[in-house]
Structure 1
Amino acid sequence: MTMIPSTKNSRWFSMMGLLILLSTMQALSQEQRFGTYYQQRKTLFELMPNTKNEIIFLGNSITDGGEWSELFQNRHVKNRGISGDITEGVLYRLEEVTESKPAKVFILIGVNDLARGISNDTVYANICRIASLIFEQSPKTTVYIQSILPVNPDFGKFTGHCSKTEDILWINKQLAQWCKHKPAEFIDLFLHFKNTTNNHMNPSFTNDGLHLTGKGYLHWANIIRPYL
């Protein structure tokens, strides 16, 4: 005997189908908004096997550019940087980071947000949200929030980024205070990378005012080596 679905059941299935479609469209919209390189890296990270005692470097192009496992000669170190990423992009892909229950996560993010006109307090709140979600999803993970690095406008490049020194200083100050009351440790990279005469990036460590040269990465590695 053929069963004729009730009007109520038909409406329920239609509603469920609509919700699934909307969820899929929203996910695709998010992926497209973050860009093709973001998708390339995110999908690669998701296919990589989880391992024990991972030490994850999480951030944007500045993190992406580091050969971290070689710098530290440590097979547990994983690079989860995506060039061009913003705090919202990190939040969107954070589940891949926490599902392995990493031993440590080093966060550095925010300067691309500022270049896009995202407000100081939003950047600060999102970084705190990233750390809080790591605490929640992987309670045994040690979280390090690294300060946003200084920038240098003298190179005449990345003007949207390199005009944000005051914003960077404000966010770093707020993050340092937040970490005093949370189970996260603040690492002041800004202090180690700035000029002695002003708050710009020391030109010894950059060739464009934003990104690091090899000397810059070696300097960074030496600063955080004690935390590994």
Structure 2
Amino acid sequence: MSDKAAEPTNLHPDIIKFQNDILARYAVENQIAQKGQILFVGSSSMEIFPIDQRQQDLNLDKVIYNRGVRATTTADLLNHIDTLIFDLAPGKIFINIGSNDIGFNVPEDIFLANYDKILNQVKARLPDAAVYVMKYFPINTVDSFGGEGKQEHDQFYAHRSNELLEAANTKVEQVAERNGYKFIDVNTGLAGADGNLRKELTFDGAHLLPAGYEIVLGNMKKYLI
């Protein structure tokens, strides 16, 4: 039985083209990438992680490869799992996927089953890899960030909230533990007292600015070394 899953059909053609272009670029880059290194994989929260600019400062003995793709879901990752994970044969994987499943209102049982399939495949094909399943970053739905119409804003946040993300975190943690992997929270310092992502750390309420990633990276260092 195939582990492929249906991809969302409501994405803008420009986003689909971007996804196809970046997957094609990753496939080419994978041919010359070193095996056994560190992999960041997931959706836009990983894609825009400026790790290429920062990893030289970390003094690691491994290269970090970023294989994030915006607007992707657990189904997308399953459908392109060779390009995004296995072609690199990483020794350490940091995965942050599923926030778009929540945002696209993918049924929870499908979303969690997909996540379980991803981790099962990693366990079977990369048994010696260390895998870190990341807690979802908090978001900010209360402040205004400009640059978008009310309709687009309302549509984006129609099924996105910190409450929904927290509920999903609990279940994703269970999926990670069931597969023998560590669930990590590297979000300390991102949220204010009200639980929302701090306004100065995001450009749209859902995606981090470099200052936000600086906090995340600081929290991740103990897992990277």
Normalised by the length of structure 1, the TM-score is 0.77
Alignment CA distance shift 1:181-1:87 (3 Å): closer
Aligned-residue offset at 1:87:
1.2
Matched, 1:141 2:141: no
Query: 3-state SS of the aligned residue for 2:88?
Result: coil
Comparing both chains, which one has the higher relative contact order based on Cα–Cα distances under 8 Å and sequence gaps of 6 or more? 2
Query: In the alignment, what sits opposite 2:23?
Result: 42
Matched residue, 2:216: 220
> Shift of the alpha carbon at 1:155?
3.1
Which residue is equivalent to 1:178?
Answer: 175
* C-alpha distance in 2 between matches for 1:35 and 1:159: 22
Deviation at 1:103, TM superposition (A): 0.8
Aligned-pair identity in percent equals: 22
Q: Distance in 1 between matches of 2:156 and 2:41?
A: 19
**Gaps in structure 2 of 5+ consecutive residues:** 1-5
State the Cα deviation string for residues 34-74 of structure 1 (Å, max 9, x = none): 81111111111111123132211001111111221332225
Counterpart of 1:59 in structure 2 is 42
Question: In structure 2, which of residues 110, 114, 118 is the aligned counterpart of residue 130 of structure 1?
Answer: 118
Query: Mean Cα displacement is larger for which, 127-136 or 153-162?
Result: 153-162
For residue 119 of structure 1, what is the aligned residue in structure 2?
Answer: 107
Alignment correspondent of 1:202: 198
TM-score by length of 2: 0.78
In structure 2, distance between residues paired with 1:54 and 1:117: 34
Residue 69 in 1 paired to residue 66 in 2?
no
Give yes or no for contact 1:112–1:161 (8 Å, CA) kept in 2.
no
Q: Aligned residues, how many?
A: 199
- Higher alpha-carbon deviation: 161-170 or 50-59: 161-170
Kindly state the Cα deviation for residue 121 of structure 1 after the two structures are TM-superposed. 3.3
Please tell me the root mean square deviation across aligned C-alpha atoms, in Å: 2.5
Q: Secondary structure at the match of 1:40?
A: helix
